[in-house]
C-alpha cells in the first residue's frame, strides 16, 4: 500500500475489512481471546488480548518488530551467524545489517579473533 493509499485508508476510519490484503491479520484464540498483526515500517507488530468474564482486559501482550528483529532467533542473528568477516569490512557489514533492520537501535560491537590452532 502506497503512503497516499494508507493515509486515505486511515482517514476513512481504517476498518480491517477494507485494508489491503496482508496488511492486517486477526486471529481468534478462543472465548475472550484474540490476536492481531499489522504490517509496519520495520516488520509486523503483534498484539494478543484476553478478556475476563466482565469483558475487561485481563491480559495484553505485544511483540514489536524491533524485539523480534534482534531476538536470538530473529533475522539479525540468522544473517550474521557463521559469517566470515574480514578485518577491513567487518564493522561496515554489521552496521549495514543492523541499520537495515532498525537504524534507531543503539549498539556496541566487539570482535574476537579466532586463529587456527
pLDDT digits 0-9 by tens, 51-97: 999 999 999 999 998 888 898 998 888 888 887 776 666 778 888 88
CA–CA separation, 9 vs 76, rounded Å?
Answer: 32
What is the maximum span of the chain, computed from C-alpha positions, in angstroms?
66
At residue 5, the pLDDT reads 62
Q: Describe the strand order of the beta sheet including 24-30 as a list of residue ranges.
A: 24-30, 33-40, 43-51, 57-63
Element (H, E) at 27: strand 24-30
Span 14-20, average pLDDT: 66
6-15, 28-37, 99-108, range with the lowest pLDDT:
6-15
pTM: 0.61
Amino acid at each position: 500500500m502506497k503512503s497516499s493509499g494508507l493515509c486515505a485508508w486511515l482517514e476513512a476510519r481504517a476498518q480491517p475489512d477494507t485494508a489491503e490484503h496482508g496488511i492486517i491479520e486477526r486471529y481468534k484464540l478462543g472465548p475472550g481471546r484474540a490476536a492481531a498483526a499489522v504490517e509496519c515500517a520495520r516488520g509486523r507488530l503483534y498484539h494478543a488480548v484476553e478478556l475476563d468474564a466482565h469483558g475487561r482486559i485481563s491480559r495484553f501482550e505485544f511483540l514489536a518488530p524491533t524485539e523480534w528483529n534482534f531476538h536470538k532467533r530473529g533475522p539479525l542473528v540468522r544473517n550474521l551467524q557463521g559469517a566470515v568477516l574480514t578485518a577491513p569490512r567487518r564493522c561496515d557489514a554489521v552496521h549495514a545489517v543492523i541499520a537495515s533492520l532498525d537504524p534507531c537501535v543503539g549498539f556496541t560491537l566487539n570482535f574476537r579473533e579466532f586463529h587456527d590452532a
